[in-house]
Amino acid sequence: MIIDKLYAKYPNMTDLRAREIRVDKQLRKVFCILSYPDLPSVEGALQNEIVDYVKTLTPVGYHCSVSLVNDTFTEVTFRKFLLDYLKKNYPIFAISGRDGISIQIENRKINVTFYVDKVTKTNMELAEFCEKLTEKLAVITCFELNITLQLDETINRVVDVTEQEKLVRLAINRELLKPSRYMQVANVEKYIGKEILTSPMYISDIRKAMDSCVICGKISGKTLKASKKDPTMHICKFTLTDDSQGSINCVMFVQFQLEDFKVIKETTGKSDSEVHTISKRRAAANDKKMKMLMALYDGTEVVVRGKVAFSDFSQRLELRVYDLCKCVIVKQKLQTNLNKQPPANYSLVSPEYFSEYRQLGFVDQIVEQSILKDKKVAILHFNWTGSVKTEDRILCVSAVRVDNGHVSQKFFTYINPEKPIEDKQMTNLLATSNDLVLYPTLSEIVPDLYKFLYGYEVVGKDLDLFFDFVNYYAAPVGYAFSNKTINQAEMISQLFENSLITKKVNLLKLEDICKACKVTLNSSVFCGETALALAKCFAFLAENSK
């Protein structure tokens, strides 16, 4: 949103770019690098004004460091910049440096050609690599980019069939599981901007940033105030909520006309009578526009069109509204065909099977006295950034089945968060590289997770929040998780009370539980380790029941 506000503030500087925006929450600092072509031609006073304006956009309590750099590249500097960018954002694609990329720069145009083998070319096309890279680089530089792929038959690469099949499955599933639900609206009335004729999508189906989006809902929490820097600019903010229970923050910048007599006289050079007429006409138009903004009360039903993007500092999705129409939202049953039956086969994530887990030996032991006898439970653990559906992300999920007191299957997968994760502490917990683009999205694993948990009681922590979160993503693809949930601490307490272990154990610490059950625990925070370790503890306690 910083760059959008800069465009609104400096409409003549359309080539201004935000090359990098980084927030250090621990040091409470914001680092912002802006670029502009032929920067030396911009007056120093204007450069200082831009820097000062960006600093005013910084949240209270944060220190902002702003740098202005010249948006210019040579073939050498752009190759280095591009390779660093690819290494950080697209490590899946193995592209050699000098030999694998051809770069030609002419005037303000950059032609980039990637020379790749057949497998890599297919994978790049499936991932829409060129289109997405062009879109992302357009935000960083105002050079006109043309990115193409060129097959190089001389490259010898061992074909990784597994990788290729995985990318093909991901591409197919992304298309099949793409939400295609729309709200129904009637009596659409042009209000601010252009008339909206497109059907609005569910707010709950908004997963990522979008260049164009139409949604509808009821307004709440509306605020309206003039910009401190530009008195002719008013900022209207509100929250929009629809019947899918999805909500999103919206911001609308409304430009008013300058009606000051003296300024109009100086800028137009017209006669006093003409200036008076212009001023009066503009004042009437501004008054009408203000009344329209004031008439957007809480509860007003509207359909809006705009751009969905992450806000600069909170990293939350918000809608920059361009057009707003009043309407009547037609009441409808949002989900009529939730598929209660699990799919026949696993699609993307197949479980790992255990022939048998025994803590004390290889002799079969009967768990007649255990509370797990004839019980089907699944321990479910996960790592996530938070529980706000449209903002936070689940990064990995692990579930382990315990049938009749015995560990039987494990389900685990990393999850593509579909956005950058800035929380280094969180990403460092994952026992993998930060390259999550290889893995399926949460919507894509829903059928497999549903199949794995179907018919099982689920044990874990924060399960109500988790299933509320997951059902938000599951509804568009026809599933609804309704498993009975059991609080993890309560289940562990009952198992220990029903066991032969007399030693006191801190039931809130997994390390102590594993130690008492003689189970190895490699990590107390990574769900891929904790779920299996706890399942083994369950098996141990079942075998040692009173």
List pLDDT tens digits, range 398-435: 999 999 889 999 999 988 887 777 666 666 666 554 56
**Please, what is the average pLDDT of the chain?**
82
* DSSP class of 369: T
Query: Is 501 strand, coil or helix?
Result: coil
Percent of the chain with pLDDT over 70: 83
Angle at 17 between CA 15 and CA 18, to 5 degrees: 170
Place of tokens 């083998």: 117
Q: Tell me which residue of 320, 321, 237 sits closest to 1, measured CA to CA.
A: 320
Place of tokens 């290729």: 164
Is 2-70 in CATH node 3.30.300?
yes
Please enumerate in sequence order all residues whose Cβ is within 8 A of that of 510, keeping only pairs 6 or more positions apart, or say none. Answer: 521, 524, 530, 533, 534
Angle at 415 between CA 408 and CA 319, to 5 degrees: 145
Query: Rounded to an integer, what distance in angstroms lies between the CA atom of residue 262 and that of residue 265?
Result: 5
* Tokens read off for 364: 């079969």
Numbered ranges of CATH 2.40.50.140 in the chain = 185-329
Query: Rounded to an integer, what distance in angstroms lies between the CA atom of residue 208 and that of residue 409?
Result: 33
| Tens-place pLDDT, residues 180-189 | 578 889 999 9
CA-based radius of gyration for the chain: 29
Please enumerate in sequence order all residues whose Cβ is within 8 A of that of 104, keeping only pairs 6 or more positions apart, or say none. Answer: 75, 110, 111
- Are 227 and 235 in contact, with CB atoms under 8 Å apart? yes
Strands 317-329 and 247-255: parallel
- What superfamily does domain 352-543 belong to in CATH? Ribonuclease H-like superfamily/Ribonuclease H (3.30.420.10)
pLDDT of res. 126: 73
| Tens-place pLDDT, residues 66-92 | 888 888 888 888 888 888 777 766 655
Topology at the third CATH level for domain 185-329: OB fold (Dihydrolipoamide Acetyltransferase, E2P) (2.40.50)
Numbered ranges of CATH 3.30.300 in the chain = 2-70, 75-159
Check residues 380 and 392 and name the one with the higher pLDDT: 380
pLDDT of res. 312: 63
pLDDT band at residue 366, thresholds of 50, 70 and 90?
very low
Query: Rounded to an integer, what distance in angstroms lies between the CA atom of residue 481 and that of residue 523?
Result: 28
DSSP β-bridge partners for residue 545 = 499
Measured in whole angstroms, how far is the alpha carbon of residue 190 from the centre of its chain? Answer: 32
pLDDT of res. 359: 45
Topology at the third CATH level for domain 75-159: GMP Synthetase; Chain A, domain 3 (3.30.300)
pLDDT of res. 84: 77
| Tens-place pLDDT, residues 233-263 | 889 999 999 887 778 999 999 888 877 777 7
Backbone angles phi, psi at 504, to 5 degrees: -70, 135
pLDDT of res. 363: 40
Residue 69 identity (one-letter amino acid): V
Q: Does the pLDDT at position 106 exceed 70?
A: yes
Please enumerate in sequence order all residues whose Cβ is within 8 A of that of 190, keeping only pairs 6 or more positions apart, or say none. Answer: 325
Which runs of consecutive H residues, i.e. helices, occur in 177-316? 261-268, 272-294
| Tens-place pLDDT, residues 449-485 | 999 999 999 999 999 999 988 987 887 677 889 999 9
